[in-house]
Amino acid sequence: MLLDVREMSEWLSGHAPCALHLPLSRLRAGSPLPAAAHGKPILVICRSGHRSQQAAELLTARGVEARDITGGMIAWAREGLPVADESSGSIA
């Protein structure tokens, strides 16, 4: 399961089509994982990898199997992986 922990404006500018969204700020505040992620290993992504590392550590401390994606969405897009753009509804 892929979890994007960027803020809403970043999510709307482009994200992995298969990702769930929960900003790190909400995760830190105690928000639970989306229901679809319960009981599953989590790959965490942000813009560059810094916040996803923090989120993975936080989730691991909560007993969730979590790892961050090194390089974040910058590396994701650079590798040519699909990116959904909410503002236009397109996938590049």
* CATH domain 2-91 topology: Oxidized Rhodanese; domain 1 (3.40.250)
Give start and end residues of each alpha helix (H) in the chain: 8-13, 24-28, 50-61, 72-78
**Active site residue ranges:** 46
Query: In this predicted structure, what is the pLDDT of residue 85?
Result: 80
Structure tokens at 8: 């809403």
Chunked into runs of 10 residues, the chain (92 residues) has average pLDDT values of 96 94 97 94 96 97 96 95 74 49
Contact of 2 with 22, CB cutoff 8 Å: no
